[in-house]
């Protein structure tokens, strides 16, 4: 976003990548915004303006109204005299993560959450009426967000900024329009095919004997553990052990082992130049069986080779948070 035209006082330094940034600016003349890989919320604090995109022109926005701008949308704003706007720039993956947890019974993973978001919110731009009274109540929260996210957002302030953002989103969410989408709940079979631990399970205390076998697998993931061997370490029958393990971790013992192996494969792919075949055998799988590729794709969403060259399926070549960083860097 070209914030210099809005009277920016942050200077030209690049912003540290992060999931959210809030900026308040006063605009006195027409300006063109670029398209960015992040969601933007423009809340008009004072004055009025006309907003135009590729699909809509001269949309009137007044004090207490808000523009919700999808990623990749160019925006042109023409203030009517003077307009003060607080802009929230939110990393797309950050919002997808919230959608995933919000609809656990409907979607199996974060890629499905991304597909659901595209169906729920097809409009590139929404104009929403917040109201001046609600805006007045949110004003201090917005101002605190601007202060917290100015410059680098250190870890010590992350949760405070996150809490403030959720306060704002809780007020705005009922106003956001979404398309009618019918998604049936996941069946037991659909849940079972996932390698990743299901998050819809109940949380229960972990039995000591079960925790002991989990630690054994963590410390030696390359070993060819059998269910009978693990049950013997827990001093339980195989059926009882399997039931208790799944109650504690949400997956079977051997699926848990597969998860550990995939996670170690991903780490070695990121941090070393070892061949994929070497990495596969190092974590305990036979490369030629193809099982490693199948498990890796189920858990990570891509094959090991794709992960090495491009990272996770949602990753940009520049890294996470760069959509927000670009939007806050005046060019």
How far apart, in whole angstroms, are the C-alpha atoms of residue 10 and residue 13?
Answer: 8
- The tens digit of pLDDT for each residue in 13-30 reads 445 557 899 999 998 888
Position 118 confidence tier, pLDDT thresholds 50, 70, 90: confident
Contact partners, residue 148, CB within 8 Å, separation at least 6: 22, 157, 160, 161, 164
233 and 113 belong to one structural domain: no
Q: Identify the domain containing residue 253 by its residue range.
A: 188-300
Does residue 215 lie in a domain region?
yes
pLDDT score of 26 = 92
pLDDT score of 217 = 96
159 and 240 belong to one structural domain: no
284 and 223 belong to one structural domain: yes
DSSP helix/strand/coil, 127: strand
CATH code for the domain in which residue 71 is found: 2.60.120.280
The conformation of residue 19, written as its DSSP 8-state character, comes to S
Contact partners, residue 180, CB within 8 Å, separation at least 6: none
For β-strands 59-62 and 38-52, DSSP reports them as antiparallel
Q: Does pLDDT of 240 surpass 80?
A: yes
End-to-end CA separation in angstroms for the chain = 8
Q: Does pLDDT of 192 surpass 90?
A: no
201 and 164 belong to one structural domain: no
Q: Which two tokens stand for residue 123?
A: 């409009």
Does residue 78 lie in a domain region?
yes
| pTM listed for this prediction | 0.67
User: Do the beta carbons of residue 39 and residue 59 sit within 8 Å?
Assistant: no
80 and 131 belong to one structural domain: yes
How far apart, in whole angstroms, are the C-alpha atoms of residue 242 and residue 88?
Answer: 47
Does residue 203 lie in a domain region?
yes
CATH code for the domain in which residue 225 is found: 1.10.10.60
72 and 103 belong to one structural domain: yes
Farthest CA pair distance, the chain: 78
Does residue 308 lie in a domain region?
no
- The tens digit of pLDDT for each residue in 286-298 reads 888 888 998 888 8
CA angle 75, 84, 64 (to 5 degrees): 85
How far apart, in whole angstroms, are the C-alpha atoms of residue 91 and residue 98?
Answer: 11
pLDDT score of 156 = 86
89: Cα within 13 Å, side-chain hemisphere: 27
Q: What is the mean pLDDT of residues 307-320?
A: 61
14 and 110 belong to one structural domain: yes
pLDDT score of 22 = 93
How far apart, in whole angstroms, are the C-alpha atoms of residue 169 and residue 61?
Answer: 19
Q: Does pLDDT of 275 surpass 90?
A: yes
Mean of pLDDT over the chain: 82
Does residue 238 lie in a domain region?
yes
Tell me which residue of 283, 280, 233 sits closest to 253, measured CA to CA: 233
Does residue 313 lie in a domain region?
no
32 and 127 belong to one structural domain: yes
- The tens digit of pLDDT for each residue in 41-90 reads 999 999 999 988 887 778 889 999 999 999 888 888 889 989 999 999 99
Q: Does pLDDT of 204 surpass 80?
A: no
Residues forming beta bridges with residue 78, ordered by sequence position: 50
Location of structure tokens 């997808």:
96
61 and 146 belong to one structural domain: yes
Question: What phi and psi, each to the nearest 5 degrees, are found at residue 158?
Answer: -60, -50
How far apart, in whole angstroms, are the C-alpha atoms of residue 18 and residue 107?
Answer: 26
Does residue 265 lie in a domain region?
yes
Q: Does pLDDT of 284 surpass 70?
A: yes
Q: What is the mean pLDDT of residues 168-176?
A: 93
pLDDT score of 314 = 53
User: Do the beta carbons of residue 1 and residue 34 sit within 8 Å?
Assistant: yes
- The tens digit of pLDDT for each residue in 254-270 reads 999 999 999 899 999 98
Q: Which two tokens stand for residue 192?
A: 């079972």
Question: What phi and psi, each to the nearest 5 degrees, are found at residue 71?
Answer: -60, 145
Does residue 226 lie in a domain region?
yes
pLDDT score of 261 = 94
178 and 195 belong to one structural domain: no
Residues forming beta bridges with residue 88, ordered by sequence position: 22, 41
Please give the helix or strand (H or E) that residue 78 lies within, else none: strand 75-91
Q: Does pLDDT of 330 surpass 80?
A: no
Q: Does pLDDT of 321 surpass 50?
A: no
How far apart, in whole angstroms, are the C-alpha atoms of residue 175 and residue 267?
Answer: 42
245 and 107 belong to one structural domain: no
Q: Does pLDDT of 9 surpass 70?
A: no
User: Do the beta carbons of residue 323 and residue 119 sit within 8 Å?
Assistant: no
Contact partners, residue 179, CB within 8 Å, separation at least 6: 119, 120, 121, 122
Position 5 confidence tier, pLDDT thresholds 50, 70, 90: very low
pLDDT score of 13 = 43
Q: Does pLDDT of 316 surpass 80?
A: no
Helices (H) then strands (E): counts for the chain: 13, 7
85 and 196 belong to one structural domain: no
Question: How many structural domains comprise the chain?
Answer: 2
């Amino acid at each position: 976003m070209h914030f210099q035209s809005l009277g920016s006082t942050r200077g030209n330094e690049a912003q540290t990548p992060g999931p959210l940034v809030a900026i308040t600016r006063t605009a006195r003349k027409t300006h063109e915004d670029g398209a960015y890989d992040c969601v933007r919320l423009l809340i008009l604090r004072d004055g009025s303006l006309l907003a135009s995109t590729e699909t809509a022109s001269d949309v009137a926005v007044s004090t207490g109204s808000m523009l919700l701008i999808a990623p990749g949308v160019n925006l042109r704003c023409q203030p009517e005299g003077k307009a003060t706007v607080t802009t929230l720039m939110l990393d797309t993956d950050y919002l997808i993560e919230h959608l995933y947890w919000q609809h656990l019974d409907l979607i199996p993973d974060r890629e499905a959450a991304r597909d659901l978001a595209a169906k729920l919110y097809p409009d590139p731009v929404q104009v929403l009426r917040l109201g001046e009274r609600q805006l007045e109540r949110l004003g201090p929260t917005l101002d605190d967000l601007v202060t917290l996210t100015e410059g680098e957002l250190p870890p010590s302030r992350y949760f405070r900024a996150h809490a403030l953002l959720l306060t704002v989103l809780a007020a705005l969410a009922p106003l956001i329009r979404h398309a009618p989408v019918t998604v049936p709940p996941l069946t037991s079979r659909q849940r079972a095919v996932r390698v990743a631990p299901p998050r819809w399970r109940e949380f229960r205390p972990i039995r000591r004997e079960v925790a002991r076998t989990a630690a054994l697998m963590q410390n030696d993931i390359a070993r060819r553990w059998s269910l009978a061997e693990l049950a013997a370490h827990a001093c339980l029958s195989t059926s009882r052990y399997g039931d208790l393990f799944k109650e504690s971790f949400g997956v079977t013992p051997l699926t848990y082992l597969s998860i550990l192996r995939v996670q170690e494969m991903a780490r070695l792919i990121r941090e070393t130049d070892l061949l994929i075949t070497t990495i596969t055998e190092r974590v305990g799988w036979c490369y030629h069986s193809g099982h490693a590729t199948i498990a890796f794709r189920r858990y990570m969403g891509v094959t090991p080779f794709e992960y090495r060259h491009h990272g996770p399926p949602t990753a940009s070549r520049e890294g996470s948070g760069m959509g927000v960083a670009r939007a806050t860097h005046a060019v």
